[in-house]
Amino acid sequence: MSGEAAERLRIALQDAGDRLAHVPETFVELFKRGDLSVELFAPHEVDTQQPHEQDEICIVAAGSGVFRRGAERVPFGPGDFLFVPAGVSHAFETFSDDFKTWVIFFGPKGGYEGRG
Protein backbone atom coordinates (compact mmCIF):
# COMPACT_ATOMS: atom_id res chain seq x y z
CA MET A 1 0.00 0.00 0.00
CA SER A 2 1.43 3.36 -0.95
CA GLY A 3 2.17 6.15 1.51
CA GLU A 4 -0.57 8.18 -0.17
CA ALA A 5 -3.18 5.52 0.69
CA ALA A 6 -1.99 5.45 4.32
CA GLU A 7 -2.56 9.22 4.58
CA ARG A 8 -6.04 9.28 3.03
CA LEU A 9 -8.55 11.50 4.78
CA ARG A 10 -11.68 9.82 3.42
CA ILE A 11 -12.65 6.53 1.84
CA ALA A 12 -16.19 6.51 0.44
CA LEU A 13 -18.18 3.27 0.55
CA GLN A 14 -18.93 3.57 -3.18
CA ASP A 15 -15.21 3.91 -4.03
CA ALA A 16 -14.31 0.99 -1.75
CA GLY A 17 -17.05 -1.13 -3.35
CA ASP A 18 -15.75 -0.27 -6.82
CA ARG A 19 -12.24 -1.41 -5.80
CA LEU A 20 -13.64 -4.62 -4.30
CA ALA A 21 -15.50 -5.37 -7.54
CA HIS A 22 -12.16 -5.49 -9.39
CA VAL A 23 -10.37 -8.07 -7.22
CA PRO A 24 -10.98 -11.84 -7.07
CA GLU A 25 -11.00 -11.89 -3.25
CA THR A 26 -13.98 -11.13 -1.01
CA PHE A 27 -12.11 -8.24 0.63
CA VAL A 28 -9.88 -5.33 -0.27
CA GLU A 29 -7.42 -3.59 2.04
CA LEU A 30 -8.00 0.15 1.87
CA PHE A 31 -5.84 1.62 4.63
CA LYS A 32 -2.86 0.48 6.70
CA ARG A 33 -0.89 2.29 9.38
CA GLY A 34 1.18 0.53 12.02
CA ASP A 35 -0.83 -2.37 13.42
CA LEU A 36 -4.14 -0.97 12.13
CA SER A 37 -5.68 -1.96 8.81
CA VAL A 38 -9.09 -1.28 7.25
CA GLU A 39 -10.77 -3.49 4.68
CA LEU A 40 -14.10 -3.73 2.93
CA PHE A 41 -15.44 -7.31 3.09
CA ALA A 42 -18.32 -8.74 1.04
CA PRO A 43 -18.49 -12.53 1.02
CA HIS A 44 -20.30 -14.39 -1.76
CA GLU A 45 -22.96 -16.85 -0.52
CA VAL A 46 -20.70 -18.34 2.24
CA ASP A 47 -18.31 -16.67 4.69
CA THR A 48 -15.22 -18.88 4.90
CA GLN A 49 -13.06 -16.71 7.16
CA GLN A 50 -10.86 -18.28 9.81
CA PRO A 51 -9.87 -16.79 13.19
CA HIS A 52 -7.53 -13.82 12.82
CA GLU A 53 -4.29 -12.97 14.65
CA GLN A 54 -5.50 -9.47 15.59
CA ASP A 55 -8.59 -8.10 17.28
CA GLU A 56 -11.28 -7.20 14.75
CA ILE A 57 -14.12 -4.71 14.53
CA CYS A 58 -16.80 -4.92 11.85
CA ILE A 59 -19.08 -1.98 11.10
CA VAL A 60 -21.87 -3.12 8.81
CA ALA A 61 -22.12 -0.82 5.79
CA ALA A 62 -25.01 -2.52 3.98
CA GLY A 63 -27.20 -5.60 4.26
CA SER A 64 -28.37 -7.75 7.13
CA GLY A 65 -28.11 -11.27 8.49
CA VAL A 66 -26.86 -13.32 11.41
CA PHE A 67 -23.32 -13.13 12.82
CA ARG A 68 -21.67 -15.88 14.89
CA ARG A 69 -18.82 -15.31 17.36
CA GLY A 70 -17.87 -18.53 19.12
CA ALA A 71 -21.21 -19.99 20.30
CA GLU A 72 -22.99 -16.59 20.28
CA ARG A 73 -25.28 -15.55 17.42
CA VAL A 74 -26.74 -12.09 16.84
CA PRO A 75 -28.76 -10.47 14.07
CA PHE A 76 -27.06 -7.51 12.37
CA GLY A 77 -27.95 -4.65 10.08
CA PRO A 78 -26.50 -1.43 8.64
CA GLY A 79 -24.56 0.62 11.17
CA ASP A 80 -24.08 -2.23 13.65
CA PHE A 81 -20.73 -2.65 15.41
CA LEU A 82 -19.39 -6.19 15.94
CA PHE A 83 -16.25 -7.08 17.91
CA VAL A 84 -14.19 -10.27 17.67
CA PRO A 85 -11.12 -10.86 19.85
CA ALA A 86 -8.05 -12.31 18.15
CA GLY A 87 -8.16 -16.09 17.69
CA VAL A 88 -11.94 -16.46 18.12
CA SER A 89 -13.95 -18.39 15.53
CA HIS A 90 -16.55 -16.21 13.80
CA ALA A 91 -18.55 -15.87 10.59
CA PHE A 92 -21.44 -14.12 8.96
CA GLU A 93 -23.71 -17.18 8.85
CA THR A 94 -26.50 -15.70 6.79
CA PHE A 95 -26.51 -12.39 4.96
CA SER A 96 -28.35 -10.53 2.25
CA ASP A 97 -26.94 -10.22 -1.28
CA ASP A 98 -26.05 -6.55 -0.70
CA PHE A 99 -24.03 -7.26 2.48
CA LYS A 100 -20.79 -5.28 2.91
CA THR A 101 -18.88 -4.49 6.09
CA TRP A 102 -15.93 -2.35 7.03
CA VAL A 103 -13.39 -4.54 8.85
CA ILE A 104 -10.82 -2.96 11.14
CA PHE A 105 -7.92 -5.06 12.43
CA PHE A 106 -5.87 -3.59 15.26
CA GLY A 107 -3.54 -4.34 18.13
CA PRO A 108 -0.72 -6.80 18.48
CA LYS A 109 -0.77 -10.22 16.84
CA GLY A 110 -2.44 -12.56 19.32
CA GLY A 111 -4.65 -9.75 20.66
CA TYR A 112 -4.30 -7.85 23.90
CA GLU A 113 -4.32 -11.05 25.95
CA GLY A 114 -1.18 -12.05 24.02
CA ARG A 115 0.85 -9.14 25.44
CA GLY A 116 3.64 -10.28 27.71
Mean pLDDT by 10 residues, the chain (116 residues): 66 94 94 95 94 96 98 98 97 97 93 50
106 sits in which H/E element: strand 100-106
**Strands annotated E in 63-99:** 65-69, 72-76, 81-84, 90-95
Q: Which of 54, 85, 63 is nearest to 72 (CA)?
A: 85
Could you give the CA distance from residue 30 to residue 11 in angstroms, rounded to a whole number? 8
Q: What is the pLDDT of residue 9?
A: 86
Q: What is the pLDDT of residue 115?
A: 38
Q: What is the pLDDT of residue 5?
A: 58
CATH tag, 3-107: 2.60.120.10
User: Residue 1 has what DSSP assignment?
Assistant: -
pTM here is: 0.87
Is residue 66 within 8 A of residue 41, CB to CB? The reply is no
CB atoms within 10 A of CB 39: 21
Q: Which of 101, 98, 97 is nearest to 38 (CA)?
A: 101
